[in-house]
């Protein structure tokens, strides 16, 4: 099941610079996309989301961009901070058959390391 793919297993960024995490998807039924951050031995923590009817959503240092024609989304973190170092997961939700109870399909995750 490769419906949601994060092709970069890791990303290393200097503090203060921009971090760009990418995610591609194949299922055109996905209508809602989410980014989660995860520290070791903890559950995923919701960061930001975007509906398929939008192309951008911003929340403080975090911005998510959605390109539906390319089936691609990205998370921008500006400026990056050492505390942002974690695994970032892209997730998507599909409306199947007109109903959905909110099942999320996750990507493999990208390990972000922000160096001081």
Partner 1 sequence: EPEVTQTPSHQVTQMGQEVILRCVPISNHLYFYWYRQILGQKVEFLVSFYNNEISEKSEIFDDQFSVERPDGSNFTLKIRSTKLEDSAMYFCASSEGGAWFNYGYTFGSGTRLTVV
Question: Could you tell me which stretch among 18-26, 63-71, 72-80, 103-111 binds partner 1 (CB under 8 A)?
Answer: 103-111
Bridge-based pairing of strands 110-115 and 10-14 is parallel
Q: Is 101 a binder of partner 1 (CB under 8 A)?
A: yes
Do 73 and 64 meet the contact criterion of CB atoms below 8 Å apart?
Answer: yes
Beta strand segments in 30-100, E:
30-38, 45-51, 56-59, 62-67, 72-77, 86-94
Q: Is 77 a binder of partner 1 (CB under 8 A)?
A: no
Q: Is 44 a binder of partner 1 (CB under 8 A)?
A: yes
Contact positions vs partner 1 (CB under 8 A) = 32, 34, 36, 41-47, 49, 51, 89, 91, 93, 95, 99-109
């Amino acid at each position: 099941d490769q419906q949601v793919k994060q092709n970069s297993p890791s990303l290393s960024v200097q503090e203060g610079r921009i971090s760009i995490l990418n995610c591609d998807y194949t299922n055109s039924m996905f209508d809602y996309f989410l980014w989660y951050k995860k520290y070791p031995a903890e559950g995923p923590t919701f960061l930001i989301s975007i509906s398929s009817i939008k192309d951008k959503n911003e929340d403080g240092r975090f911005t998510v961009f959605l390109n539906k024609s390319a089936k691609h989304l990205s998370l921008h973190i500006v400026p990056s901070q050492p505390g942002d170092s974690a695994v970032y997961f892209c997730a998507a939700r599909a409306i199947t058959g007109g109903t959905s109870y909110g099942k999320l399909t996750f990507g493999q995750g990208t390990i972000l390391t922000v160096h001081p």
